[in-house]
Amino acid sequence: MNVAALLLQALPGSVVTDVAELGQYRSDRSGHQSAGTPIAAVHAQSIEDVQAVCRIAYETGTPVVTRGAGSGLAGGGIAGSGEIVLCMGSMREILEISPANRLAVVQPGILNGALNAELARQGLWWPPDPASKDISTVGGNIAMNAGGLLCAKYGVTREAVLALKVVLADGRLISVGHRTVKGVTGYDICALMIGSEGTLGIIVECTLKLQPAVTGPQATIGAFFPGVEQAADAAARITAAGLVPAIMELLDRRTLECVGTYTGQDLLVQGNSYFLVQCDGPAALADAGAVVDIITAAGGTARTTTDPEESARLVDIRRQAFPALESLGTMLVEDVAVPRDRVSDVFRKVVELEDRYGIMIPTACHAGDGNLHPTFVYQGGTVPDDIWKAAGELFAYALELGGTLSGEHGIGLLKRQWLGDELGADQLDLQRQIKTVFDPRDILNPGKVFPATG
């Protein structure tokens, strides 16, 4: 009996084998596509369903690609020939909300935005805030250790997860982490699972660390600068001054122009770089005043608002960057992060690469944490060689500055060939060994994260 038949027998009503329908799982939001079509897609309804898929996969040596919403930008959720797609989107229940313990227990398929809409009714909040929050799943956020606009103040996903239930490659179920605030028993396998990109186990239940909803004034600043380097320097000065805004974002001229065209706004008339800052909490108004002073001293012009609608408009300029660039063609959205005082150096490097390779690289930046998104827009499904060469130079430069290949998108397919440049041979080998301990048959998202050997 073939694998598809075994799945249909074990999970009737949950298995898709139609070739046309399976085509959607060959790509994710990165814009890249696998060469072939997967065997089947299974829409898991329960932990037991996930275990059944893993047992069949383990016994037959069939690869499994776990998929949430397909909103990833590194090719980690792409499935190809001979692979099973395990879709987690149907497992989206909130199992528990405990205000007394400031935690929630949820299934992995719930959307980030939907979860926070429900938590808001109880005065609570889960801080991870990726730009894709309205379409990305909590399980996907955890598997990728997602970031977003609020990381500098509220942290990335790893800071907001207490415990997980995980199905291993052979179908066993383990519980890792703790419901308690403290817990140091044994190795921290929960932390290891966060950001593992589906290569060590399949997350089937999430215990999340919540925060009280932010109350009090919220001050949003929309600022424009003659150049992006001045804006980057202002961001570094804000951090050095001990201020911790909830949001601190930068758009360079090319990105600002694309957003203006996409949204029908003449943004460049105000400046060549957009700098968004939002302060919240009891000291929001005082902090915003100090931020404006720094912006003005650095050569920028700023307006501040506490009006929720105007604030949303200012934030939306930043949130429209991805869809604006996506409307132009296929994107290679890069994701380097560097020490915060070196952000302006990366913007200078981007201009140098644009001039030398004759390409455009619109770049947005989470200025509060030094995470930049240089974006290469092209036509077609295959990344041109000159773009890969330019991207490779950019990766090398980020590492030279003491940075990293990925601040939040992960490695997936797109950046695996450079992983050893950051980790070094010894650590790369150690990480491969860890993968083997959890997945001895290499069936969990094989070919992702680690470069091919031999």
Please say which residue of 42, 67, 87 terminates a domain.
Answer: 87
For 437, 444, 447, the CA distances from 453, given in Å and listed in that order, are 18, 17, 10
So what's the pLDDT on residue 353? Answer: 97
Where in the sequence is the domain holding 29, given as residue range(s)? 3-87
pLDDT (tens digit per residue) in 233-258: 999 999 999 999 999 999 999 999 99
Reply yes or no on whether the pLDDT at 211 is more than 90: yes
* Mean pLDDT value across residues 367-381: 91
Are residue 110 and residue 189 in the same domain, yes or no? yes
61 Cβ neighbours under 8 A, 6+ residues apart: 441, 443
Are residue 394 and residue 378 in the same domain, yes or no? yes
For 126, 312, 337, 387, the CA distances from 308, given in Å and listed in that order, are 20, 6, 31, 40
Are residue 62 and residue 101 in the same domain, yes or no? no
**Quick check: is 275 in a domain?**
yes
**Hunting for tokens 């070196």 — which residue is that?**
342
pLDDT (tens digit per residue) in 263-302: 999 999 999 999 999 999 999 999 999 999 999 999 999 9
For 52, 112, 150, 369, the CA distances from 147, given in Å and listed in that order, are 32, 12, 8, 10
Are residue 314 and residue 343 in the same domain, yes or no? no
**Quick check: is 427 in a domain?**
no
Please say which residue of 183, 212, 241 terminates a domain.
Answer: 212
Are residue 144 and residue 81 in the same domain, yes or no? no
What CA–CA distance (Å, rounded) separates 447 from 442? 9
Are residue 248 and residue 194 in the same domain, yes or no? no
Alpha carbon 418 to its chain centroid, in Å, reads: 19
* Mean pLDDT value across residues 20-25: 95
Are residue 333 and residue 410 in the same domain, yes or no? yes
So what's the pLDDT on residue 331? Answer: 86
CB atoms within 10 A of CB 218: 19
Are residue 266 and residue 356 in the same domain, yes or no? no
CATH of residue 49's domain is: 3.30.43.10
Are residue 206 and residue 223 in the same domain, yes or no? no
The alpha-helical segments, DSSP class H, found in 94-197 are 112-120, 138-144, 151-154, 189-193
So what's the pLDDT on residue 1? Answer: 65
So what's the pLDDT on residue 215? Answer: 87
So what's the pLDDT on residue 132? Answer: 81
Please say which residue of 212, 246, 272 terminates a domain.
Answer: 212
What CA–CA distance (Å, rounded) separates 133 from 427? 32
Edge-to-edge, what's the strand order for the sheet holding 218-225? Answer: 301-305, 218-225, 273-280, 247-251, 363-366, 371-378, 330-333
| Mean per-residue pLDDT of the chain | 95
So what's the pLDDT on residue 378? Answer: 87
Residue 134 pLDDT class (50, 70, 90 cuts)? confident
Residue 454 pLDDT class (50, 70, 90 cuts)? low
User: From the CA atom positions of the chain, what is the Rg in Å?
Assistant: 22
Reply yes or no on whether the pLDDT at 352 is more than 70: yes
Q: Which of 95-99, 220-224, 281-285, 380-384 has the lowest mean pLDDT?
A: 380-384
Residue 169 pLDDT class (50, 70, 90 cuts)? very high
267 phi-psi bin (left φ>0, alpha ψ -120 to 50, beta other): alpha
The secondary structure element, H or E, covering residue 173 is strand 173-177
User: Which of residues 191 and 331 earns the better pLDDT score?
Assistant: 191
Reply yes or no on whether the pLDDT at 82 is more than 90: yes
Strand runs (DSSP E) across 201-306, as ranges? 202-209, 211-212, 218-225, 247-251, 273-280, 301-305
% of the chain beyond a pLDDT of 70: 100
pLDDT (tens digit per residue) in 332-349: 999 999 999 999 999 999
pLDDT (tens digit per residue) in 2-12: 999 999 999 99
Residue 330 pLDDT class (50, 70, 90 cuts)? confident
* Mean pLDDT value across residues 354-364: 95
Structure tokens at 448: 């992702």
Domains identified in the chain, total number: 4
For 71, 139, 261, 267, the CA distances from 65, given in Å and listed in that order, are 14, 14, 37, 42
Are residue 137 and residue 198 in the same domain, yes or no? yes
Length of the chain in residues, anyone? Answer: 454
CATH of residue 137's domain is: 3.30.465.10
The secondary structure element, H or E, covering residue 260 is helix 253-263
Reply yes or no on whether the pLDDT at 381 is more than 80: no
Nearest to 374 by CA among 348, 412, 342: 348
Reply yes or no on whether the pLDDT at 42 is more than 60: yes
* Mean pLDDT value across residues 416-421: 96
Reply yes or no on whether the pLDDT at 428 is more than 60: yes
Q: What is the DSSP string of 75-100?
A: STT---TT-EEEE-TT---EEEEETT
165 Cβ neighbours under 8 A, 6+ residues apart: 47, 173, 174, 175, 176, 203, 204, 205, 206
Backbone angles phi, psi at 220, to 5 degrees: -115, 135
Reply yes or no on whether the pLDDT at 420 is more than 60: yes
Reply yes or no on whether the pLDDT at 168 is more than 70: yes
CATH of residue 232's domain is: 3.30.70.2190
Reply yes or no on whether the pLDDT at 135 is more than 80: yes
